[in-house]
A and B are shown apart, each in its own frame.
Chain A
Amino acid sequence: MAGICIVATALDGAVSRSSLELVGGGRALGASLGAGVAALLLGSGPGMPEATEALHQHGVSAVYRVTDPTLTAGQTDAWLIAVEQIVRAVGPEIVLISADTVGRELAPRLAHRLGAALVTECVEMATEGQEIIVKRQVYGGRALATLAVARRPLVLSVKPRALDAPEPAPTPGKVEDVAVTIDVTALPARVREIHREKSEVGLEDAPVVVAGGRGLGGPEGFKVIEELAAALGGAVGSSRPPADAGWVPISWQIGQTGKTVRPALYIAVGISGATQHTAGVSGSRTIVAINRDPEAPIFSLAHLGIVGDYREIVPLLTAKVKELKGG
């Protein structure tokens, strides 16, 4: 019996980075609880053997693998059937799920079905005796709550990019292929279409992120910061108002509701710094703010700031970056 079970996904032919983050979190918990880490690996097609190997390479002792054509992006009802069946059979004390598109639906529903305790959107995990101590952001990132859970089983969902991906720790492990019967026509909610917004550099993994806010004034403002991002080899994101206004795709949104980013360099342009947004960027190594309003709260988070009009500042900065990178 495994003490800790992570739910891992392989949708693009490789194990996802957030799955590896769960492995890292599970290993740390397991070390202090004296428990091993098992993984449920779910996916629909190619890449499952490689993903299994990657899990073993990162310290997972047992991989329970379900390969089924219904286990595709966003098909939560199918994931729930598979995960519930295996978790009941394996009987872990703690289940870790990444709080991504599927995970944020899956974790509460699984907890309810198992009669398990539930904590969502964790950013830190530790143990104190037999108690699990988790931290999560509350009040739009203005405060950090520490929760203690003694009850088992326990389902934890973990915010993507809150934990570091672990160092390799090759473990001789076993694999068990599990058959799960899923009738797609019986699923209460069925994905009929998937629209992926292409991004050249994934926002969550980009070393540099340039984000724009309401202060850009409209979708054309994003063209200006896209040029800066391109010069820096980074990705473009936004705070909530531009996504709400339809200036940019919602998948660009960074913050409490959107993505969490932790780049080496984060540049906020025309972003006031509402906690809704800063909750998703505060882990960035260096934060630069460009804003016309010297009183904007973003300056209380930033390390370096420029008070000025982005229309003037950003093109100059793009040119400066090209000059410095070229020379």
Chain B
Amino acid sequence: MDIIVCVKQVVDPELPLRDFAIDPVTRRQVREGRPLVISTYDENALEVALQIKDRSGAKVTVLTIGPQARVGDAIRLALAMGADDAVVIDESKSPDLLGADKARILAAAVRRIGRYDLVLCGCESADWVERAVAPLLAEMLGASCVTFVSRAETAGGTLVVRRTADDGFHELDVRLPAVLSVTSDDANRPRLPKVKDIVGAKRKPVQTWARADLAVESGSHEASGVEVREVVVPQRTAKCELLPGDPAEQVAALGQRLRDLKLL
């Protein structure tokens, strides 16, 4: 089985709010000087791929789009976790691209990689949270599509997945090839690489392709018809009133306040 896992580097989403800023020109988060990490759910996607590899054998390729100089850490971590090789699409504008453009580039890259049974993505990126790349990619590749998958098992050429739903979960039989987006659960917590794997990762092959070398279908920001007009950080107006005293006094005060607000 050949599995491609799409990963993206983003500014650490846990960064304190005081370090969060929007560039007024690009209308995107300021990245300079901020630590970059693999976007939250992309690591869960890689973990699902590696579990399939552990159980029934698979070749796992990591695919990323980014300014080549900035994606090294993400690729090294993914290879140390257990991916077999990596493909980097060098695109300096990648942090500004929306999902539709990303999906077109990924589709071209997957076609160039050639063989694949499964493509896994995180269910959403920590930055733009469109949740659109996996379903768009599936359509572009003509593959099956399930999003918000937490578990996936392969058996005899078929795939069974668990999808997180609003009121529980669903189990689905999925025809291959398929594109899945992965969400977190207790069964796919990303593994920590061991020291020897970190060392070994340095010998794993990494290919870099220029975006210009890919047969990307036409389409751009303008053509996709969506203009990012403004990105603002809302000002918090609520001021928290901390209730004083010992626990009994705090609770008595809270009870009174909730009653005043007609909530009790």
Q: Which residues of A contact B (CB under 8 A)?
A: 73-74, 76-77, 99-101, 104-105, 107-109, 111-113, 117-121, 133, 136-140, 142-151, 154, 160, 188-197, 199, 208, 232, 240, 243-246, 249-251, 256-257, 259, 264-265, 274-276, 286-289, 294, 297, 299-309, 312-313, 316-317, 320-321, 323-325
Q: Which residues of chain A are within 8 angstroms of B259 by Cβ–Cβ distance?
A: 324
B 220-252 binary contact with A (CB < 8 Å = 1; else 0): 000011111111111010101111000110111
Q: Which residues of chain A are within 8 angstroms of B128 by Cβ–Cβ distance?
A: 138-139
- Bound CA–CA A250/B149 (angstroms): 12
Enumerate 26 A-B pairs (CB-CB under 8 Å) in ascending A order.
Answer: A74-B172, A101-B148, A101-B164, A109-B138, A112-B135, A112-B139, A139-B128, A142-B233, A144-B231, A145-B27, A145-B230, A146-B228, A148-B229, A189-B178, A191-B171, A194-B168, A195-B168, A197-B167, A250-B164, A257-B184, A265-B258, A265-B263, A288-B258, A305-B241, A306-B251, A313-B250
Least distance between A74 CB and chain B CB atoms (Å): 4
- Bound CA–CA A321/B252 (angstroms): 10
Q: Which residues of chain B are within 8 angstroms of A154 by Cβ–Cβ distance?
A: 225
**For the side of the interface on B, what is the size category?**
35 or more
Asked whether B126 lies within 8 Å of A140 as measured between CB atoms, the reply is: yes
Q: Which residues of chain B are within 8 angstroms of A101 by Cβ–Cβ distance?
A: 148, 163-166, 170
Q: What residue of chain B has the Cβ atom nearest to residue A197's Cβ?
A: B168
The listed residue (A139, A148, A286, A287) touching B227 by CB distance below 8 A is A148
Q: What residue of chain B has the Cβ atom nearest to residue A151's Cβ?
A: B225
Asked whether A191 lies within 8 Å of B170 as measured between CB atoms, the reply is: yes
- Bound CA–CA A151/B223 (angstroms): 9
Judge whether B110 is part of the interface by a CB distance below 8 angstroms: no
Within 8 A of A (CB), among B142-200: 143-148, 150, 160-161, 163-175, 178, 183-186, 189
Given contacts A250-B185, A304-B241, contact A188 B166 (CB under 8 A): no
Asked whether B186 lies within 8 Å of A244 as measured between CB atoms, the reply is: yes
- Bound CA–CA A243/B238 (angstroms): 28
Asked whether A146 lies within 8 Å of B229 as measured between CB atoms, the reply is: yes
- Bound CA–CA A108/B250 (angstroms): 49
Least distance between B187 CB and chain A CB atoms (Å): 8
- Bound CA–CA A193/B175 (angstroms): 16
- Bound CA–CA A105/B171 (angstroms): 16
From B14-22, B66-74, B83-91, B203-211, the one touching the partner chain is: B14-22
Least distance between B245 CB and chain A CB atoms (Å): 10
Least distance between B262 CB and chain A CB atoms (Å): 9
Q: Which residues of chain B are within 8 angstroms of A325 by Cβ–Cβ distance?
A: 264
Asked whether A306 lies within 8 Å of B131 as measured between CB atoms, the reply is: no
Q: Which residues of chain B are within 8 angstroms of A323 by Cβ–Cβ distance?
A: 255
Least distance between A154 CB and chain B CB atoms (Å): 8
Q: Which residues of chain A are within 8 angstroms of B1 by Cβ–Cβ distance?
A: none
Asked whether A120 lies within 8 Å of B175 as measured between CB atoms, the reply is: no
Least distance between A204 CB and chain B CB atoms (Å): 8
Q: Which residues of chain B are within 8 angstroms of A76 by Cβ–Cβ distance?
A: 145-146
Least distance between A106 CB and chain B CB atoms (Å): 8
Asked whether B240 lies within 8 Å of A119 as measured between CB atoms, the reply is: no
Q: Which residues of B contact A (CB under 8 A)?
A: 13-14, 17, 20, 22, 27, 29, 40-41, 99-100, 123-124, 126-132, 135-136, 138-140, 143-148, 150, 160-161, 163-175, 178, 183-186, 189, 224-234, 236, 238, 240-243, 247-248, 250-252, 254-255, 257-259, 261, 263-264
Q: Which residues of chain B are within 8 angstroms of A208 by Cβ–Cβ distance?
A: 263
The listed residue (B14, B150, B231, B258) touching A146 by CB distance below 8 A is B231
Q: Which residues of chain B are within 8 angstroms of A300 by Cβ–Cβ distance?
A: 236, 240
Least distance between A75 CB and chain B CB atoms (Å): 9
Given contacts A189-B173, A325-B264, contact A306 B231 (CB under 8 A): no
Asked whether B127 lies within 8 Å of A139 as measured between CB atoms, the reply is: yes
Q: Chain B CB within 10 Å — which of A133, A143, A251 has the most?
A: A143
Asked whether A117 lies within 8 Å of B224 as measured between CB atoms, the reply is: yes
Asked whether B251 lies within 8 Å of A320 as measured between CB atoms, the reply is: yes
Asked whether A121 lies within 8 Å of B227 as measured between CB atoms, the reply is: no
Q: What residue of chain B has the Cβ atom nearest to residue A207's Cβ?
A: B263
Q: Which residues of chain B are within 8 angstroms of A113 by Cβ–Cβ distance?
A: 139
Q: What residue of chain A has the Cβ atom nearest to residue B169's Cβ?
A: A195
Asked whether A150 lies within 8 Å of B170 as measured between CB atoms, the reply is: no
Asked whether A251 lies within 8 Å of B167 as measured between CB atoms, the reply is: yes
Asked whether A108 lies within 8 Å of B132 as measured between CB atoms, the reply is: yes
Q: What residue of chain A has the Cβ atom nearest to residue B147's Cβ?
A: A105
Least distance between A53 CB and chain B CB atoms (Å): 25
Q: Which residues of chain A are within 8 angstroms of B241 by Cβ–Cβ distance?
A: 303-305
The listed residue (A121, A195, A199, A274) touching B14 by CB distance below 8 A is A274
Asked whether B228 lies within 8 Å of A251 as measured between CB atoms, the reply is: no
Asked whether B140 lies within 8 Å of A264 as measured between CB atoms, the reply is: no
Asked whether A188 lies within 8 Å of B175 as measured between CB atoms, the reply is: yes
Q: Which residues of chain B are within 8 angstroms of A264 by Cβ–Cβ distance?
A: 263
Given contacts A144-B231, A274-B14, contact A105 B263 (CB under 8 A): no
Asked whether A259 lies within 8 Å of B238 as measured between CB atoms, the reply is: no
Asked whether B255 lies within 8 Å of A321 as measured between CB atoms, the reply is: yes
Asked whether B145 lies within 8 Å of A139 as measured between CB atoms, the reply is: no
Asked whether B236 lies within 8 Å of A316 as measured between CB atoms, the reply is: no
Asked whether A257 lies within 8 Å of B167 as measured between CB atoms, the reply is: no
Least distance between A281 CB and chain B CB atoms (Å): 12
Asked whether A120 lies within 8 Å of B243 as measured between CB atoms, the reply is: no
Asked whether B184 lies within 8 Å of A244 as measured between CB atoms, the reply is: yes
The listed residue (A108, A137, A188) touching B135 by CB distance below 8 A is A108
